[in-house]
Structure 1
Amino acid sequence: MAELGKNLSDDKVKAACHLAFKAHKSHDKAFLEEKRGSDVIIFAFAGSWSADEWFTAAGGQAFGETKIDLEQFHCLRSISNDELAKVNQAFLLKFLEIKSTLETKVMNTLNDGKRQIIFTGHSAGGPLAIFATTWLFEHLRSKRRVQPSSTTHNCLTFGSPLSTDHIFCHAVRREDWSDHFVHFVMRHDIVPRIPLAPPSSTMGGALHEILSVFNPNAQNLPDVNSMLASEFFVNLMRHASCAATHAACTLMGSASMLRDTISGFIELSPYRPFGTFLFCSTNGRLLVVKNPDAVLQILFYSLQLKSEMEVPDAAKTSLSAHMAYKDEINKNLGRQGVVCLDTSVEIPLNSGDSMDPHIILTDETLNDFGLSARARLCLRAATESEKQKVANLSKIEQNKKIMKDAMTKLENYRFACEARGGYYDSFRKNQCIEDFQANVKRLELAGVWDEIVEMLKRYELPEKFEGQKEWVDLGTEYRRFVEPLDIANYYRHLKNEDTGPYLERGRPRRYRYTQRWLEQFGQKPSGSCGESTFWADLEELRMKTSNREPFAALKPKIDEMEKNLKRWLSEGTVKRDAFLEGSTLVKVWAELHRLNPAQVQDITGFISSSSSSEL
């Protein structure tokens, strides 16, 4: 199917679905594997039918969520805001239990050569397939074996419950992995929506009984108490309504009391969609959606009922739909007239508004999913939100020339400062007109970068922005040029006496953000790219030395600075004007060496060892 990417043919999808249901019936095995020809291998994960294995009470989180461990999944965070992704803890623990066995199989497959790997799962097997695929992409990224956009591997889920949050979605889109995750959802299937309600509202026997319906040991789909199923359905959709309404209010920029009431009195599920969703209607229509905000609205509105009288039948249908994927995919995959909702598609609000064949097809498909005018307004808001992100990026792209011109002037200023004691020290003294002009450029650049930071803080830029090399390079150049000036200004005005040390209380987010970009892009340890901040450490050392603090307390920081300066000298990320005679660095280090010659190396010693480098 072209809508799902060049690496996924209809035959591969059908094969994955077949094996996913086979794994569903093989609950005694953690996963099944099957080779398809010479170029494809499919790993299908078994699900679980115990409510305790869907939600865990460990950690005390209302929805059984947990923050991701960066040691396991290094990329699953917002780089700028340094927020970790949250996932369903029960499903994650299940994956970690089988990870070592799976890893051996996958590594053997990778070593075989150019074989495409497809991870798949039905129901609770879906989250395991998601974690397995993410783990594989993390591994490939760390080994630099392939670029994210060029990998051929995929994840296919069928009726998978939501198990990841918006940060997970943000990270996967940033890494350009999103298109490799495809989730099939039947319009009436209740299972993908289950995590939108807290376990406390569904665990009182209801969820246990609902999940028992899908137990592979059952010969046929067993009946479930009609009243219990109806109550489960109504309760779940009430929580789904809260999540969708709150999200829609946010998309539309609403400051209404409704949104505040929802978030203030009702704990909302953290779980959100990501990747590509392919919705299947009861009439065989297919709707492809990649916008996660639009997916959430469809998950809610496509199960809206016209009256309470429909609840019992809808509840029963919502269970039977969960087992209908094989038949629907075999029957309808590959048919013509698939509708893809993306930013280029106009979403009609009313039938008969247009004579355009594509709009008519879109309208008919949305009707088939029961999407009302209100639902379509929410879909439009989701689409406009994506467009606004692109518009915001275009706006800051226009500032590039201003930024580069200001950086060129600061570079000329730094060159001129070599005759006046160095870049940092000249600016700290602030005695010449050139220092004033440099300060104007510093403030000008701060305004531009603070605007970018505010957009990033509110997730108002495309997810790929943080990982674009051009912006990583520009942010790194800005940080290395300008942060020393901010530090000089901070200590010249004695802000440390009121606020505290620069690194603890005074460092602006624009430098923290751009440092994290570089560390993530270069796969470097957190905090390892602090070459623009050593002046702040130096200022603190100078004050502590003047206050005659015990040398033993200062020794760890001195050793750390010495080690880092040697590395930054060899890398060329610290410039030679920092080591001019009479500079703050040279004077502070000389005093430390004079007081403790046996434990502090003469600065000329490690400067000379890097003399061949560009300082």
Structure 2
Amino acid sequence: MPSLGVLLLLHQPVLVSLAPDRRLGSKSPDAEGVLNGEYPPGDLLKEEELVPSTSLPQFQFLCSKSSSSFSIHKAAATLFGRLHDQLVNLKTQVEQFEGQFKDRTRLIITGHSLGGSVASLFTLWLLDNISQRDKDKDKSVIKHTLCVTFGAPLLGDKGFQEAISCSSLWNSCFLHVAANQDLVPRLFISPHNPNAMDIDSQTGPYRPFGTFLLCSASGCTCVEDPDAVSELLEAMGLETAGIQNPNEAWQIFDYGKPVKCLMSIVNIKGLAQLGELTVDTLRAGIILQLEAIGVISIQQNSGNRELIAKMEKDCLLKKKKAFDPSKKLNDMKIYMVNLEWYKKTCASDERGYYDSYKSKGSSQKDIKVVEFKKRLNKYWEKMVAEAERKPQTEGAAFMTRWLYGGTNYRRMVEPLDIADYYSKGCRDYKTNGRSQHFIRLEQWLEEAKKQNVSPSSTDSKKQKVSALLTEDSCFWADVEEALILCKSLKDGDQRKSRESTIKNLIKFEEDVMKQIENYAVSPEIFLEKSSFMQWWREYKEIMGTTYSSQLTRFMEK
């Protein structure tokens, strides 16, 4: 009986092969039958069922706050589970060679048909294990890991796709080769599978991830965009949709031919003919793609105008909506510079930028600050949301550049959010008003400190800016709460005992002193008209002239 073949080559590259054979037969489809190749892959049309992530504990690491659940192909999940012990042994063998990896060494995991699905799951499992073990090191092993599948069906739903695609590092580890004569890659595309569920779009619930190498007798093309992959897989299926003989339709496709072709030549054709038809480079690229995978011929592309126009429109729309954090970060730096200028100008009236913003008027300067704050918040909320969508075990820490930018932004802008919050008469900002993206930025900074990652420590200019900002971005919320406590004592509010209120005020005083000793507060808190100095005067009056502490002695100097 044929079974899963496993091959480890101890020289470069290291290859892991997962490829169950496929034979025609009549038995009912189940995972064991898939493994042993005892029934035709066409029977998988009845097995398009997805299983939820809650029943897949070994892949819970893919969940994140924004993608809390996903589903994958039931047969693939079942087969992976049945092979668990063998795959554990295989993973152990792979780990033994990690220490021998050199710059040009690649770990290649490959599988055919449903074996390709198992290969993808095994690769994810391996990547997670590497990430957990080597989170403090560079991820050179991950960068040199590649999963190549041949004729594999789509594996999971939109949640599964997003969990992988949102990590560019992980997404780049997958290459799926699909031929136009092989029906299995299009197994769960609804026009070719009458049993597929029509959820969210015409292609059903299944979504592609990674890079797809689509092949035909005419050539091949690489596609990364998931929507384009779905459309092209659907278009490729039209050629084989009319085959009457099921045995002929489900014959095993020999992927050796396109692989040999790719290894021997790189052939670019059709450009001369296209030159007479179009000068639009985007449309030209789309037409060449469709010709390469056998969907159209250049001479007869007029019959496929609808498909070409749709792909062109989708491409332009995605480009327009694309969120490029690198380019936008430069815009954010300009807004930050404007806020720093605002901060400096506010110091001249002994008030400080926090209190100046809190009592802002209708001047052009105040209006611009509101706009700068709004744009910065929108950018960093999106940045944090994008990072949250990555697999949990990749860690939350940004690259140093992003970590520094996010930290400076939080320390500069969150006080302005606090000012808006307390201006409305609200209380308890930390519990009821603080945005989740500020919390995550602060947590990521703490994680980086534990790993001895210093945000932009070599940039003296940035160090200077950072030194002028109070490190605790919630400092002014604590000041506001302390002012409210002082007012409650003056007004004789009985909701809290005087002893408890005094205790809380003393704790705030001690916290402030610790920050002063650690040079963690901006000098502007001591400006005469600041909220902090207002608190200090009220607190000193409440405690009386005989009260002495570190802070009272410091303030009297």
Tell me the TM-score normalised to structure 2 length.
0.63
Q: Is the 8 A contact 1:42 1:119 kept in 2?
A: yes
Cα 1:570–1:132 change in 2 (3 A) is farther
Cα 1:111–1:336 change in 2 (3 A) is closer
The residue number in structure 2 matching 1:492 is 423
The residue number in structure 2 matching 1:145 is 138
* Deviation by residue 1:82-102 (Cα, 9 ceiling, x = unmatched): 434634285568479457545
Gaps in structure 1 of 5+ consecutive residues: 1-23, 55-60, 198-230, 247-267, 525-529, 596-601, 609-615
Matching residue within 410, 419, 424 for 1:479: 410
Which secondary structure does the structure 2 equivalent of 1:156 belong to?
Answer: strand
Which secondary structure does the structure 1 equivalent of 2:99 belong to?
Answer: helix
User: In the aligned structure 2, how far is the partner of 1:85 from the partner of 1:561?
Assistant: 42
User: In the aligned structure 2, how far is the partner of 1:483 from the partner of 1:412?
Assistant: 17
* Deviation by residue 1:64-111 (Cα, 9 ceiling, x = unmatched): 232799997767648xxx434634285568479457545533332222
Gaps in structure 2 of 5+ consecutive residues: 22-28, 35-47, 391-396, 452-470, 544-548
RMSD: 5.8
Q: Is the 8 A contact 2:243 2:249 kept in 1?
A: no
User: In the aligned structure 2, how far is the partner of 1:274 from the partner of 1:182?
Assistant: 9
Q: Which amino acid aligns with 1:152?
A: H
Please say if 1:379 is aligned against 2:339: no
Cα 1:535–1:391 change in 2 (3 A) is closer
Cα 1:468–1:504 change in 2 (3 A) is same
**C-alpha displacement at 1:125, in angstroms?**
1.8
**C-alpha displacement at 1:483, in angstroms?**
0.8
* Deviation by residue 1:224-277 (Cα, 9 ceiling, x = unmatched): xxxxxxx983333x74xx65548xxxxxxxxxxxxxxxxxxxxx51x4222211
Which secondary structure does the structure 1 equivalent of 2:337 belong to?
Answer: helix
The residue number in structure 2 matching 1:44 is 17
Q: Which residues of 2 match residues 120-135 of structure 1 at below 5 A?
A: 120-122=110-112, 123=114, 124-135=117-128
Please say if 1:287 is aligned against 2:214: no
The residue number in structure 2 matching 1:110 is 98
Q: Which residues of 2 match residues 266-281 of structure 1 at below 5 A?
A: 268-269=204-205, 271-281=206-216
Please say if 1:298 is aligned against 2:237: no
**C-alpha displacement at 1:126, in angstroms?**
3.1
User: In the aligned structure 2, how far is the partner of 1:301 from the partner of 1:354?
Assistant: 22
Q: Is the 8 A contact 1:162 1:192 kept in 2?
A: yes
Q: Is the 8 A contact 1:129 1:156 kept in 2?
A: no
Tell me the TM-score normalised to structure 1 length.
0.58
Cα 1:444–1:112 change in 2 (3 A) is same
Q: Is the 8 A contact 1:68 1:86 kept in 2?
A: no
Please say if 1:234 is aligned against 2:165: no
**C-alpha displacement at 1:409, in angstroms?**
1.2
Matching residue within 163, 167, 183 for 2:155: 163
Q: Is the 8 A contact 1:121 1:129 kept in 2?
A: no
The residue number in structure 1 matching 2:6 is 32
* Deviation by residue 1:19-74 (Cα, 9 ceiling, x = unmatched): xxxxx9434xxx7341242x3322334669735999xxxxxx98323279999776
Q: Is the 8 A contact 1:43 1:119 kept in 2?
A: yes
Identical aligned residues as a percent: 22
User: In the aligned structure 1, how far is the partner of 2:518 from the partner of 2:483?
Assistant: 26
Which secondary structure does the structure 1 equivalent of 2:8 belong to?
Answer: strand
Q: Which amino acid aligns with 1:184?
A: V
Cα 1:489–1:586 change in 2 (3 A) is same
Cα 1:569–1:365 change in 2 (3 A) is farther
Q: Is the 8 A contact 1:165 1:272 kept in 2?
A: yes
Q: Is the 8 A contact 2:147 2:173 kept in 1?
A: yes
* Deviation by residue 1:396-454 (Cα, 9 ceiling, x = unmatched): 4673464133132144257558x54x6545654x38x8x97774453121332355368
User: In the aligned structure 2, how far is the partner of 1:159 from the partner of 1:559?
Assistant: 69
Q: Is the 8 A contact 2:357 2:416 kept in 1?
A: yes
Larger radius of gyration: 2
The residue number in structure 2 matching 1:83 is 67
* Deviation by residue 1:114-145 (Cα, 9 ceiling, x = unmatched): 24322222323233234135325634761322
Q: Which amino acid aligns with 1:289?
A: V
Matching residue within 174, 178, 187 for 1:185: 178
User: In the aligned structure 2, how far is the partner of 1:396 from the partner of 1:519?
Assistant: 25
Cα 1:447–1:302 change in 2 (3 A) is same
Please say if 1:446 is aligned against 2:376: no
User: In the aligned structure 2, how far is the partner of 1:424 from the partner of 1:455?
Assistant: 25
Please say if 1:364 is aligned against 2:305: no
Q: Which amino acid aligns with 2:16?
A: F
The residue number in structure 1 matching 2:546 is none
